[in-house]
Structure 1
């Protein structure tokens, strides 16, 4: 018998009791993982008051002493990334399904390690005198928006019993509190001035402006087909490529824009490294490597995720009009790699270029020549990539963060956020 073990009960509730049951369980991982169901044994300890009265609302605690499945040999799970929820069956004097849930609190769990789950709590309002038995039932393990669902494969024995006595004083009615004043309308705030149009990404100068040094690309929605350690996923992200003239070369900056989410878990510093191969087209051919720094600070669960700008230098390999399109995106973290390839080329920037020694692969010089440094916003072009017609407009939904590792986990959503924190 455990007394004062964090069990909140009504005034008439007696000392808490704890009992453990063990039952065969089948756990089904998320479909995107490609893993087979797991047969195992769940061991649960239920803490509940031994006695209580009708009308009491008691809090019951479900403690896992053993989960039915271990962490698969795919990834390390970081601390505070796993949350359990489940159902407790009440039977006897009254029947009810008691919803149970635990906090997202766990130590770091290595690949193949035992799954450590937090204690779950739920409340039950007692409505009839007599014995009420409490039996653990199905539960789910949530990690980064995906659920592993576990259910008993045998009859489970009750883990606790509450002796419920008739209430000596049961109020005939429960007073309710009604606000004395309810506003009939809710004021809204309307900006005094709303611009009739909003500029979109575009090039910043015409070809006649030969002195231009900064070139702003068009924001384009790029459809990606992503390969991850545990499955494939299609996704779309808005991307913009800008350039700054540097002699005969151009310093490139690639931004992922308008895609925002909060971190689903604590992410260690220096754990995520993004890079991209910008695809060249038009007069020039080949790719330009751009990359961003790793996250300099740890990101706490619930905080916005920021992906820095990707930068690199483009040295033209041909003279003429060359196009730049977002290409293959790679994200590496703690030994894992996610690779996303555009299924359709979307030109973000067009530059008038002059061939440089040791430059890109070069082309057939079919593009029109002009003064180096001119630019214009581009439209969809082959850019050396096949146009498959894939179209999944929206934010980049393909990537999930697990142990600071960027991988796909079913419905997990990891999206990029530019320098300004957008909500």
Structure 2
């Protein structure tokens, strides 16, 4: 007990001496500021600016010397708004960057950047942004005040820019004492704002292969014919998304193989019409279509493609998978097959594209089968979608100058710049999207 008392007394005395001598180890400080913010979505997505509140905590050393390079950390305690009810943002898809202002004894723009690191953000969920880091070389003795300024949120190649709409209070102050470094300067080293740069997406205009006419054979292929090749037709689509209508055109071909009294259908979107503008996760995109029947037969037949089995890297060509299904004729005679409504499910969203006009790709001589398609939507292998189906959520991007540009929409469905820009362009709780 006596020894403990001596140790305690010594500690008290030592602390007292430190106080008397003014000796103390500078401690890092963290302070939070809150400021009104306006965020601007990527151009072309049809969403208005959003006004919200950003809450930021700045961590920096309380004291340092001239010549020191200090590390500072910007932590978001509240983003300006929330993720709208459009799309789920996958993990590690969002990266913040911004500018921290230094003022007082010296002035500088400190480039701040955080890692692309976030938990999955569901539709309507609170945005979670990683902490940003930067550094500042101290050049002048005195008080250096640190104030958060504009920042950019990048989500899978799209930028949402957010800036204060009021004067922001300093969040941290560094007391800089004279040291071995120069004290003649009044400005810090030049720095950049930290805004990510992106290489424009490369696109290629598709040139559909020469069409191949199909000669129908009696009863769907008498004389031994089993394979039937349709012609390539350019289909003008109007696509409905949660942010408005888009129009696009794609070359499509319908082929068939006789299988008993039925036909195995394969629908092909010819060529890869673009490179991927983003990293697309595996198992995130699934296309489907209703093939419209005409002539002797009526209704539609559902065809669908597999999900993308492997991730698609940014800049890699988008390969659209074949869509397959089974057509069981419901009538005897010449039946025509035309591309119909296209739906694409991607990352929790659905895009519906309806042809502006019907163009026949394949004609078959058919024999009626029990339970066949005539008059019924779908037939064998049908899904719940219908020709001319109702619009649902999702988003496809128009390209080129005309109203109907090449359908590179399919290459964007797993993270179209329109959708992802809208997703990161978050909404305040309780604020309704303008329609």
TM normalised by structure 2 equals: 0.63
**Which residue in 2 is equivalent to 1:308?**
321
1:309-324 → structure 2 map (5 Å cutoff): 309-317=322-330, 322-324=335-337
Moved more, 251-260 or 158-167: 158-167
For 1:302-381, list aligned pairs within 5 A: 302=314, 307-317=320-330, 322-332=335-345, 336-347=349-360, 349-357=361-369, 358-361=371-374
Aligned equivalent of 2:212, options 158, 178, 203: 203
Render the CA deviation track for 1:350-396: whole Å, top value 9, x for unaligned: 3342242354447xxxxxxxxxxxxxxxxxxxx999xxx94223522
In structure 2, the residue matched to 1:143 is 155
- Return the offset for 1:18: 3.6
Equivalent pair of 1:336/1:406 in contact (CA under 8 Å): no
Would the alpha carbon gap of residues 158 and 334 (structure 1) be closer, same or farther in structure 2, given more than 3 Å must change?
A: closer
Distance in 2 of aligned mates of 1:401 and 1:145: 13
Structure 2 residue corresponding to 1:105, chosen from 117, 121, 126: 117
Matched, 1:258 2:272: yes
1:289 counterpart residue number: 302
Counterpart for residue 33 of structure 2: 22
Work out the CA distance in 1 between the residues paired with 2:235 and 2:69: 54
- Cross-structure match for 2:228: 215
CA distance in 2, matches of 1:169, 1:142: 37
Change (3 A) 1:300 1:109: farther
Q: Is the 8 A contact 2:143 2:173 kept in 1?
A: yes
- Counting matched residue pairs gives 343
- Report the CA distance between 1:258 and its aligned residue: 0.7
Structure 2 portions without partners, runs of 5+: 1-24, 184-206, 376-386, 390-401, 424-435
For the 8 Å contact 2:341–2:388, the answer to whether it is kept is: no
Equivalent-residue separation in structure 2 for 1:119 and 1:60 (angstroms): 10
Give the Cα–Cα distance (whole angstroms) in 2 for the partners of residues 20 and 169 of structure 1.
29
Structure number having the greater helix percentage: 2
Q: Give distance in 1, aligned partners of 2:70 and 2:225.
A: 73
* Whole-angstrom distance in 1 between the partners of 2:50 and 2:81: 9
The alpha carbon displacement at 1:68 in A equals 2.6
Instruction: Check whether the contact 1:32–1:230 (CA below 8 A) recurs between aligned residues.
Output: yes
Which of 67, 83, 89 pairs up with 2:95?
A: 83
Q: Shift in Å at residue 276 of structure 1?
A: 0.5
2:80 aligned to which of 68, 79, 96: 68
**Aligned partners of 2:140, 2:319: CA distance in 1, in Å?**
54
SS of equivalent residue, structure 2 residue 408: coil
The answer (yes or no) to whether the contact 1:137–1:152 under 8 Å persists in 2 is yes
Separation (CA, whole Å) in 1 of partners of 2:252 and 2:169 = 56
Report the alpha carbon displacement of residue 106 of structure 1 after superposing the two structures with TM.
0.4
Structure 1 stretches lacking a partner, 5+ long:
1-13, 171-197, 363-382, 413-423
Task: Determine the C-alpha separation between the residues in 1 that align with 2:323 and 2:264.
Answer: 11
Q: Is the 8 A contact 1:223 1:236 kept in 2?
A: yes
The answer for the alignment partner of 1:225 in structure 2 is 238
| Residue deviations 1:388-407 (CA, integer Å, cap 9, x gap) | x94223522685436xx998
SS of 1:396's equivalent? helix
Q: CA deviation at 1:290?
A: 0.6
Residue pair 2:332, 2:365 contacting (<8 A) in 1 also:
yes
8 Å Cα contact 1:83/1:143 also seen in 2: yes
Kindly indicate whether residue 253 of structure 2 is the aligned counterpart of residue 244 of structure 1: no
Contact 1:283 1:318 in 2 (8 A): yes
CA–CA separation in structure 2 for the residues paired with 1:150 and 1:88: 13
Q: Give 1:418's aligned residue.
A: none
Deviation at 1:147, TM superposition (A): 3.9
| CA deviation profile, 1:86-141 (whole Å, cap 9, x unmatched) | 22222234433333222221012234433211122335465666544321112232
Q: Which has the larger radius of gyration?
A: 2
